[in-house]
Amino acid sequence: MKLPKKVKRFCPNCKKHTLHEIEKVKKKKASELKWGQRRFRRATSGYGGFPRPKPKGREKASKRMPIRFRCLECNRRHHSPTIRTKHLEIGER
């Protein structure tokens, strides 16, 4: 899927339609202090193989791509519902 770098849409902060810059949301590093991560580390530590089996079946045809919009007037960022696509290119259209 190809998207333009800038698009005009409604800004909830400015309360009007303004020009927005599109950016792909990058996944941040998982915290080692979270309960799920501590449980995962405890399960995978020590002698033995990996405790969880590999998922069966094929890979999904498309993944959810979160997109963030930044208003060029007030510089506030806001999200829209995620898009399902295999490949996302910003600034191509």
pLDDT of 81 reads 87
Decide yes or no: CATH 3.10.450.80 for domain 1-27+62-93. Answer: yes
What is the per-residue pLDDT for 93? Answer: 63
Among 55, 51, 68, 62, which residue's Cα sits nearest to residue 9? 68
Residues 6+ away with beta carbon under 8 Å from 48: none
Question: Residue 71 and residue 11: Cα distance in Å, rounded?
Answer: 7
Query: Can you give the pLDDT of all 93 residues of the chain as single tens digits?
Result: 899 999 999 999 999 999 999 999 888 898 999 999 999 888 888 877 777 777 788 888 898 999 999 999 999 999 988 889 998 899 876
